[in-house]
Amino acid sequence: MSYLLASYNDTLSSILGWVSIACWIVVYSPQIYENYSLQSGEGLSLIFVYVWLLGDITNMTGAILAGLLPTVIILGVYYTLCDLILLFQVYYYRWKATKYQVSESVEETPLLIDTHAQNKREVSSTKGIAIRYAGALSFVMITGVLAWWISSNIKLPEKPQKHRSSSITWVIQVLGWTSAICYLGSRIPQIIKNFSTRCEGLAPALFFFSILGNATYSLSICVKSMEKEYLITNGSWLAGSALTIFLDLAVLSQFSYYRYMAFKRVQPGLTIENTS
């Protein structure tokens, strides 16, 4: 009975892990596209991106030293490249705006898009948004389960675990906790910036997928084992993922609040248009 339970936990943990990976593969895409469509990256806090980049670099370095699967290391490289793409967009669109004198670009002053276009974006159908997010959720779930099924049916030779010295183990733990602190700290400057930008130029899907990815990753650790030693070993990654969820929820709360305020602001105008 205990063997069957352990096998079930391993399977569920693996599925959750693959779903988490699927989330993290697409997490950057909405913001990259948002920046491209607005021709501006001013909705992002530069400190947010830089600290997130540092977290990804330390996380990737820890994965390499820990001898994790090549797929995990490749994902670490992918995350780092996406961070660099976001930074490139911010600076490129600032340079472009300055060159063509579209508007003044200062780090603390966002580039605002056309008010009417922004209002139309903010009051788009709630039903439509729900459908899009339900579709995105279904996509990552199906992709994760499919990836798990493929991986479970491919038998790869098991590599013997290498013995790590205590110093290497200590370095890995330091990198893990540094990464966790960076992931947590990165959200604070973005939350502060949102008060002045009203979340304009920021893609909510970035934080939606981040929440889903962190939640499934944390669950994959807990489902596998709740033994004290196991949780301590994975403590940094568990803490970084679980606690970041609350800060990402704070960002989504800001989105909801400013969206509601925008709807109240333009609703009278919409009523007049409908009755004319």
Least confident of 15-24, 120-129, 144-153, 192-201: 120-129
Instruction: Tell me which of 130 and 170 has the higher pLDDT.
Output: 170
- Whether residue 254 contacts residue 200, with contact meaning beta carbons closer than 8 Å, is answered with no
**In the prediction, which pLDDT does 28 show?**
92
- Whether residue 209 contacts residue 266, with contact meaning beta carbons closer than 8 Å, is answered with no
Instruction: Tell me which of 276 and 71 has the higher pLDDT.
Output: 71
Q: In the structure, what pLDDT confidence band is assigned to residue 166 with cuts at 50, 70 and 90?
A: confident
Least confident of 19-28, 109-118, 124-133, 199-208: 109-118
Counting residues of the chain whose pLDDT is more than 90, the rounded percentage is 33
Specify which residues 60 forms β-bridges with. Answer: none
Residues in CB range of 258: below 8 A, 6 or more apart: 122, 194, 198, 199
Q: In the structure, what pLDDT confidence band is assigned to residue 111 with cuts at 50, 70 and 90?
A: very low
**In the prediction, which pLDDT does 139 show?**
80
Instruction: Tell me which of 2 and 67 has the higher pLDDT.
Output: 67
DSSP string across 68-121:
--HHHHHHHHHHHHHHHHHHHHHHHHHHHHHHHTSS--BTTBPPP--HHHHHHH
pLDDT value at 47 more than 80: yes
Residue 148 to residue 239: CA distance in whole angstroms:
25
Read off the pLDDT of residues 239-251 as tens digits, 9 standing for 90 and up.
888 889 999 999 9
Average confidence (pLDDT) over 255-275: 69
> Which residue, 185, 207, 201, 191, is CA-closest to 23?
207
Read off the pLDDT of residues 82-104 as tens digits, 9 standing for 90 and up.
999 999 999 999 999 888 764 44
Q: In the structure, what pLDDT confidence band is assigned to residue 131 with cuts at 50, 70 and 90?
A: confident
Q: In the structure, what pLDDT confidence band is assigned to residue 262 with cuts at 50, 70 and 90?
A: confident
Q: In the structure, what pLDDT confidence band is assigned to residue 186 with cuts at 50, 70 and 90?
A: very high
Residue 9 to residue 233: CA distance in whole angstroms:
18
Residue 66 to residue 193: CA distance in whole angstroms:
36
Kindly report the average pLDDT of the chain as a whole number.
80
Residue 66 to residue 168: CA distance in whole angstroms:
8
